[in-house]
Amino acid sequence: MEMAYAQAVALKRRQLWLGLLLLAVLVLLSGHVAEISFSKLYQQIGGFSSYIDRIFHLENGRPVISDPAEWFWGWKKWLALMGETLLMAYLGTLLGATAAFVLCFLASQNLTKSKGVVFFTRRLLEFCRTVPELVFALIFVVAFSLGPLPGILALAIHTAGALGKLFAEVVENIDMKPVDGVVATGGNWFHKIRFAVLPQVASNFASYALLRFEINVRGASVLGFVGAGGIGQTLLEVIRKFYYADVSALLVMIIATVMIIDAVTERIRHKLIGLEAKS
Amino acid sequence: MSDLTVNPLATSDLAPRELLRRRYASHFKPFYQDNLMAIFIGLLAVAVFVFGIYKLEMTFARLWGGLGELGKIVVLMLPPNPESWAMTKVYLYAVLETLAIALLGTLSAALAAFPLGFLAARNTTFNRLIQFMARRSFDTLRGVDILIWALIWINVVGLGPFAGVLALFMADLGIFSKLFSEAIETADHKPVEGVLSTGGSKLTSVRFGILPQLMPVLLSQVLYAFESNTRSASIIGIVGAGGIGLILSEQIRTMEFQQMSFVILLILITVAVIDFLCSKLRFAIIGVRAR
């Protein structure tokens, strides 16, 4: 008995060490490929703290807190850009969620009998969410020219892919008895969705869509890096041109907005989850 | 209530509609009475949508013209073609670099977040103030997008994959610390009491009471993060922080669409392979099949 225990423990230990060894080899290899250089980091780490220090000081050398009006000198322009970013996220989420809503029923096995349709829809959704939205944005900027439009479309496609999968999972977990009931009274496909499926999934769908909106606000704030509208373009410019105080002002603005949106959507989502628990 | 005992189905053919209406008043209310709030929210959503379309100049002409252009690009993309074997090797090395960035960023962030998670968890921290401060700092780290971290680190260590690793490290540090501390807070407290009751110190109670519960959760979170970091690492090259993103953005800017579609295909395959391997590994480690 004791022998068996010792053997089992030894086996586990051996596996653990083997795994760690493999990991170490991978790390060394990656370190070489990724040009990791601790000496460079050691030499330049002061650069990071001084960078952080510099973005919190104004041109005249005083800390930014001492003169908020000077710090946020461009607040009118920046707020307008932030508003544009939020609108982009909203439109992208709404368009994407609508597409996901239409596609999710085709991608769930319990509502769509044709295996081919389910398979095809799922692969389509997979493609939409695996290609990063920034890549879509890069291509769309070439096709639709600069501005928020390519950004919205990129967000919408990515959202459709991500939400479509989540929606389909919700639909596959519904209670099928109401569906049978509607079918038994002679309801067609639309009646089935409207009266049997929708009441079961609506609050979940809304909750997922709100979560996606949160993610898309973050996403929209960097789409400007590739010229697809929003506040990212300005942020990229001030970082590249070393307008230090502006960098911190814009970052503070983005982070504050993201946190407010997170807090608000979280409250709404908790209410929605409560609704679901009641029904 | 007495007339409700009569089976309504049995009499419904005979019962005049007026009677039914009186009996089940709540079922005959007009649609809008129950759903005033929903209708209001719906109208508001549509109004904001229309305002957005107007404000962001999403005109039908632009959309139509762009779709035409997009169609042309898609035709130009096919078939995916790497041009030459030499270029293929360049792409494959870039994929390797992407994976290296993802691995190092994830791993270093996980190692650093491990002690920080205990600091930020309510049941293992030294001090409520430290816990609060730690939580807020992680929120800030998470609030800054990976691409922004990449831009900042490029200013510090220069262009190249090292900046990418550091960017992933910063973003993941915030995420991991939050996830880890939440996992620690939800850990069962009874093993800890057991260890303490046999005379263990606070440190041994964490080691033998909390850690065994924690490890599978943490490992599976790290594996998930590695999957998502593979995706992130493939785009941070767009701002110059190494990986295949740089090649991709250059190809799109110079309109080499056949090579671009080859690179996108390469990224998709890489992501799929990594997802597959991670789910296998997760199953091997924690014995739960990932969905």
- Provide the 8-state DSSP code for A226: G
Contact A255 B144 (CB under 8 A): yes
Interface test with B, best of A25, A124, A144 (most B CBs within 10 A): A144
What does the pLDDT read at residue B12? 53
Pick the residue of B9, B37, B168, B235 with the most A CBs within 10 A to test the interface with A by mutation: B235
Inter-chain contact B63–A149, Cβ cutoff 8 Å? yes
- The whole model's pTM is what? 0.82
Domains and CATH numbers, chain A: 2-55 (no CATH), 72-278 (1.10.3720.10)
pLDDT exceeds cutoff 70 at B119: yes
Burial per residue of A5-30, b for 16 or more beta-carbon CB atoms within 10 angstroms, e otherwise: eeeeeeeeeeeeeeeeeeeeeebeeb
Instruction: Return d(Cα A231, Cα A246) in angstroms, integer.
Output: 12
Q: B96: which chain A residues are within 8 Å (Cβ-Cβ)?
A: 33
Q: Which residue of A has its CA nearest to B66?
A: A144
Domains in chain B: boundaries:
1-58, 85-286
Ranges A88-102, A239-253, B22-36, B263-277: which has the least confidence: B22-36
pLDDT, tens only, B203-253: 888 888 888 888 888 888 888 889 889 988 988 988 888 888 888 888 888
The verdict on whether omega for the bond into residue B79 sits within 30 degrees of 0, i.e. cis, is yes
Of A48 and A214, the structure prediction assigns the larger pLDDT to: A214
- Least CA distance to A81: which residue of chain B? B56
Mean pLDDT, all residues of chain B: 83
Above 60 in pLDDT, residue A7? yes
> Which CA distances in Å does B8 have to A15, A23, A65, B15, B30?
69, 71, 73, 9, 22
Residue from A182, A181, A173, A179 nearest A204 by CA: A173
Per CB-CB distance under 8 Å, the chain B contacts of A40 are 157, 162
CATH T-level fold of B85-286 = MetI-like fold (1.10.3720)
The residue among A79, A93, A130 whose CA lies nearest residue A216 is A93
Question: Angle B272-B277-B281 (CA atoms, 0-180°, nearest 5)?
Answer: 150
Nearest CA in chain A to B65: A144
The closest CB to that of B104, out of A31, A221, A236, belongs to: A31
Structure-token pair, residue A144 = 């639709």
Q: Which tokens is A233 given?
A: 């373009």
Q: Give Cβ neighbours of residue A100 (< 8 Å, ≥ 6 apart).
A: A125, A159, A160, A161, A162, A163, A164, A166, A167
Q: Are B162 and A35 inside 8 Å of each other by CB?
A: yes
Interatomic CA distance for residues B174 and B176, integer angstroms: 6
| Per-residue pLDDT, A35 | 77
pLDDT of residue A229: 83
pLDDT over 70 at B85, yes or no: yes
B235 interfaces chain A, CB cutoff of 8 Å? yes
Nearest to A131 among B58, B165, B264 (CB): B264
Is it the case that residue B264 has pLDDT exceeding 80? yes
Residue B6 — very low, low, confident or very high, per pLDDT cuts 50/70/90? low
Q: Which of A42-46, B46-50, B221-225 has the lowest mean pLDDT?
A: A42-46
Between B28 and A75, name the one with better pLDDT: A75
* Distances, alpha carbon A189 to alpha carbons A50, A193, A196, in Å: 63, 6, 10
Q: Which of B139, B149, B162, B255 to mutate to test the interface with A (most CBs of A within 10 A)?
A: B162
Distance CA A164, CA A129 (A): 9
Helices (H), chain A: 2-33, 38-55, 68-71, 75-106, 115-130, 133-144, 148-172, 177-184, 189-191, 198-223, 232-240, 244-278
Residue A59 has what pLDDT?
A: 75
